[in-house]
A = this chain, B = another copy of it.
């Protein structure tokens, strides 16, 4: 396959752990679809603090915005070894020649992103460490299940406790504490890159505390 043909069609790229899929403000002429491995979009403070904004799992598209802006906003790093397919913008646009159709697809993706972020603003702002972690683990479990990556009650869990900490906005030590408790209570087991969910219902109860507001006044107390 010639260089030109690779440009015109999609091609596969692989990244080692800690390698960048994209750097901040880098020009992008492709959208990446993760085929294997996990990646994360994050933001740093010079003093070392890191907050992961978005997690990308197998099957996910990294950043539909690229299509619109032609550039990444935040860096994306591989949390594990990653295999991803790079889809040139031109090719995506060509696939749906009817303008409106391809637009709709992008819009839907953005609505989903928007909803996810809504949820995480809520989590980070008003949930305890335990609630956030349970919520995250449930979400991951569900996302993997949707992609047929859950066997029995087990799924891959390649995130380190440092990664988890940087997602739920707490310290790694505290992540460990909470996980110990959850394990002790028989809710789940995190061992060697794998997660076994022993009591999904309980986990969801802990993590999904939010409800739609009733007819009352907000903060009427």
Binding site for B on A (CB under 8 A): 18, 24-25, 42-51, 53, 65, 68-69, 73-75, 77, 99-100, 103, 106-107, 110-111, 113-115, 117-118, 120-122, 124-127, 162, 166, 168-169, 209-213, 217-219, 221
List residues of chain B with CB within 8 A of the CB of A100.
99, 103
* In the complex, the 8 A-B pairs of residues with the closest C-beta atoms, listed nearest first: A125-B169, A124-B124, A117-B117, A51-B125, A51-B126, A44-B213, A49-B126, A51-B122
List residues of chain B with CB within 8 A of the CB of A42.
213, 218
Copy number in the complex reads 2
Q: Contact between A114 and B110 (Cβ–Cβ < 8 Å)?
A: yes
Residue in B18, B43, B126, B127 whose CB lies within 8 Å of A217: B18
Q: Contact between B44 and A211 (Cβ–Cβ < 8 Å)?
A: yes
A100–B42 CA distance with the chains assembled, in angstroms: 32
